[in-house]
Amino acid sequence: MWMTPKRSKMEIDESRAFRAEWTQRYLVVEPPEGEGALCLVCRRLVAATCESDVKQHYEAEHEYYERYVTEDERAALVERLRRGDLPEAAPLTPEQRIARAGLGLARLLALKGCGWGEGDFVHRCMAVMLRDVLPDHVGIMDGIDLSPETTRQRVLDIHQNLRSQLFNRAKNFKAYSLALDDQAFVAYENYLLVFVRGVGHNLEVHEELLTIINLTHHFSVGALMAAILEALQTAGLSLQRMVGLTTTHTLRMIGENSGLVSYMREKAVSPNCWNVIHYSGFLHLELLSSYDVDVNQIINAVSEWIVLIKTRGVRRPEFQALLTESESEHGERVNGRCLNNWLRKGKTLKLIFSLRKEIETFLVSVGATTVHFTDKEWLCDFGFLVDIMDHLGEISELLRVNRVFAAAAFDHICAFEVKLNLLQRQVEEKNLTNFAALSQVVDELKENLQEDEKVLDLERYRGVICRIQKEFERHFKDLKFIKKDLELFANPFSFKPEYAPISVRVELTKLQANANLWEEYRTKDLGQFYAGLPAESYPIIKGVACKVASLFDSSKICEKAFSYLTRNQHTLSQPLTDEHLHALFRIATTEIEPRWDDLVRGRNESNP
């Protein structure tokens, strides 16, 4: 698809020739050999000569020199650097070092989900430690302010610093995709987490939180759409560069006529926009699919067991593994929603199923009902749910591995669809080979039932598997639409030119005849290979690579945010503004390192 439309060829709108104004702006000069740009500060050669490459090197390595603002100061700085007189950054003062320590502690408190008041406790702990270990330095703690008000402001400052860095990177995105996760529930409010995955000129991939939107205040799809467009505009991202959209498969997201996806696709339809690829199965695959599979409300019954175990069976040795797993997932305090979500995971249900005999004995000892353990239909449904969620858990685990690109993720999805076909046939043939838990239940029931009594009805399970197959087909049909693009991206040297559109055949033939590029493809990973592929010689293939690389290939960043929310549900349920909640989620999910010296010196970039 991307190889054939009007705009499948990536625009190359940047001059690749060295420009004189870069010398003062980015502190680089044209090297003697006339290729690339030579950095006056570190004496490194920036291989490519697009302005974005030079700017990226400058911002990443030498942004300290932004303190030289006026034209005269820049000119004098260039002359000093030409002579080899390298200005050194002024060392931090003791007060600034104390401020930096306070910022670092505030970040750690945010990462651990601690409340604003926890800073005072940390301050007292450190004071006690210094008094016993380094008594001469105990006075240092007097200058570190970890009061709730200061900690709250420092978290906001770190958030603004990280946000500014993201926006600077976003300006250079050649293509990007969005992931929309509406499963974040904090206290009594529901939030939409908007993540962005962007690809720069050299195919460097960035996944970050773009914004959070309070769905209580943006109830209608129109208001939600306006909030997302505002966030894109603030970040400098135009719809013309949007390639993909991955969402949860809730009605709010994928409703046929009133879902957010249909609104965004309609907004992005124009001669200057690419066809937006949408897929809705990556995010919370186990969680949302479990509602279709749970044919007998198994989760509700099991959640009641867990509540009893956490309140009256906490000391029983047979439940320690289960309780440890529960606490590692969401801490000691857990609300009903978190418990429900935890139980909708394949590995969790499998563990509970293995303890069903012990749980029955425990329920009898505390006087709770055990009616489910005598209901053969319910027990069979329990075993079937465990097996299906175990299979879904396997594909979910594969889709959590990021930096493999969407082509590899698509292969996992196709393989799982083949597996679903196999499970369907096995159910029709009454073959329980891949249904270990259900088979175990059936064997136990046969020991206690009459020979002519029917144990289970597999027809209802066939319908469940059929429903999952249709859901997978619906969720990932757009990826099948760009199947050729994904195959070309993953295997450019084995892709037959006669199967490619006419527009790309010449490039593909030339690529496959290049022995040097074949060696690079064989020895490097895909990202490195396409980063080194010259866009002048292979503009269409490079364009396809940028678009495929910008598609979300995993649910890792969404899982990271969801895990942070689940573990710290109690803390996040305290009174927090949306801005503070946004700051906490950004700090918890980002891969960007804060610029500590800029924060200490109060030099935050002037981005909105």
pLDDT class of 34 with cuts at 50, 70, 90: low
pLDDT in tens, 210-262: 999 999 888 888 899 999 999 999 999 988 889 999 998 888 888 877 788 88
Q: How confident is the model at residue 14 (pLDDT cuts 50, 70, 90)?
A: very low
For residue 453, pLDDT beyond 60: no
User: Superfamily assignment of 173-280+575-602 in CATH?
Assistant: ATPase, nucleotide binding domain (3.30.420.40)
Give the 3-state secondary structure of 136-181.
Answer: HHHHHHHHCCCCHHHHHHHHHHHHHHHHHHHHHHHCCCCEEEEEEE
Q: Are 540 and 524 in contact (CB under 8 A)?
A: no
Distance CA 213, CA 201 (A): 30
pLDDT tier for residue 446 given thresholds of 50, 70 and 90: confident
Residue range 338-345: mean pLDDT, rounded? 68
The Cα 215–Cα 183 span in angstroms is 11
b/e per residue 112-122 (b: at least 16 CB within 10 A): ebbbbebbeeb
Q: What is the pLDDT of residue 606?
A: 39
Looking at residues 6-29, what average pLDDT do you find?
Answer: 65
- Gyration radius of the chain's alpha carbons: 28
- Least confident stretch, 95-104, 409-418, 475-484, 597-606: 597-606
Over residues 126-140, the mean pLDDT reads 83
> Which residue is it, tokens 């697009």?
50
Task: State the CB neighbour count (10 A cutoff) for residue 491.
Answer: 12
Residue 349's closest CA among 289, 406, 398? 289
Average pLDDT over residues 333-350: 68
Q: What average pLDDT does this structure show over 527-535?
A: 87
Q: How far apart are the first and last CA of the chain?
A: 36
pLDDT band of residue 20 (cuts 50, 70, 90) is confident
271 Cα distance to chain centroid: 30
Decide if pLDDT at 605 tops 50. Answer: no
Average pLDDT over residues 17-42: 83
Task: Provide the pLDDT for residue 49.
Answer: 55
pLDDT in tens, 165-221: 999 889 889 999 999 998 888 877 889 999 999 998 778 899 999 999 999 888 888
Write out pLDDT tens, residues 562-580. Answer: 888 888 877 777 778 899 9
Confidence (pLDDT) at 226 = 92
Can you tell me the distance from the alpha carbon of 383 to that of 356, in angstroms, rounded to the nearest whole number? 11
pLDDT tops 90 at residue 274 = no
What is residue 374's predicted lDDT score, i.e. its pLDDT?
87
- Average pLDDT, stretch 112-122? 83
8 Å CB contact between 471 and 292: yes
Domain with CATH 3.30.420.40 in the chain: 173-280+575-602
Give me the pLDDT at residue 176, please.
Answer: 94
Average pLDDT over residues 587-608: 74
Query: What confidence tens digit (pLDDT) does each residue in 387-430 have?
Result: 998 898 888 888 877 767 888 888 999 999 999 999 999 999 98
Mean pLDDT confidence for 254-273: 74
Distance between CA atoms of residues 386 and 384, nearest Å: 5
Mapped onto helix, strand or coil, the DSSP state of residue 225 is helix
User: Which residue has better confidence, 455 or 401?
Assistant: 401
- CA–CA–CA angle 352, 311, 387 (5° rounding): 10
> For position 607, what pLDDT does the model report?
37
Could you write out the DSSP letters of every residue in 443-460? HHHHHHS-TTS----THH
pLDDT(509) > 90: yes
| Cα 481 to Cα 1, 473, 485, distances in angstroms | 7, 12, 9
Task: Provide the pLDDT for residue 5.
Answer: 42
Bridge partners of residue 38, in order along the sequence: 29, 45
pLDDT at 314 over 90: no
Is residue 1 predicted with pLDDT exceeding 60? Answer: no
pLDDT score at 268: 72
Average pLDDT value over all residues in the chain: 83
What pTM value is reported for the model? 0.81
Q: Which phi and psi (to 5°) does residue 210 adopt?
A: -85, -50
Q: What's the pLDDT score for residue 435?
A: 93
pLDDT bucket at 601, cuts 50 / 70 / 90 = confident
State residue 235's pLDDT score.
94
The DSSP bridge partners found for residue 181 are 193
